[in-house]
Amino acid sequence: EVQLVESGGGLVQPGGSLRLSCAASGFTLSDHYMHWVRQAPGKGLEWVGLTRNKAYSYTTEYAASVKGRFTISRDDVKNSLFLQMSSLKIEDTAVYYCTRDQGVVGVPGAWGQGTLVTVSS
């Protein structure tokens, strides 16, 4: 069974940094594209970025709103995905979801339960 469990959320001041982790199990992480998606309180879903699989050299893509501030990385040996967030803004406040591709196509298929990041002074 595919499982994704995020951790690392919390309260951080504007301009601060935070690192989210996602523990993956039930599949081989290196075979899959992995996305981060966020949802601000009461708002819709926003794609944050992705890391491609090993076959595509783990290359990354980011939303314009986070490019240059957020970095996605992965440790396939530890079956973990990471989101390093820096220069955080109030508008980065959201629940952050770790997702795995559907398997046949790249759209997010399996989702974690999410972790809340609150950026506030």
Partner 1 sequence: AIQMTQSPSSLSASVGDRVTITCRASQGVRNDLGWYQQKPGKAPKLLIYAASSLQSGVPLRFSGSGSGTDFTLTISSLQPEDFATYYCLQDYNYPVTFGQGTKLEI
Site residues (CB under 8 A) for partner 1?
35, 37, 44-47, 50, 61-64, 97, 102, 104-109, 111-114
Q: Which is nearer to partner 1, 87 or 102 (CB)?
A: 102
- Cβ atoms of 94 and 23 within 8 Å: the answer is no
Q: Residue 60 CB, nearest distance to partner 1 (Å)?
A: 10
Bridge partners of 25, per DSSP, are: 3
Q: Which CB atom, from 67 or from 78, has the smaller least distance to partner 1? A: 67
Taking the complex as a whole, the smallest distance from the CB of residue 87 to partner 1 amounts, in Å, to: 19
Q: Can you tell me whether residue 86 is helix, strand or coil?
A: coil
CA distance 35 to 29: 12
- Residue pair 116/9 in contact (Cβ under 8 Å)? The answer is yes
What is the closest distance, in whole angstroms, from the C-beta atom of residue 77 to partner 1 in the complex?
26
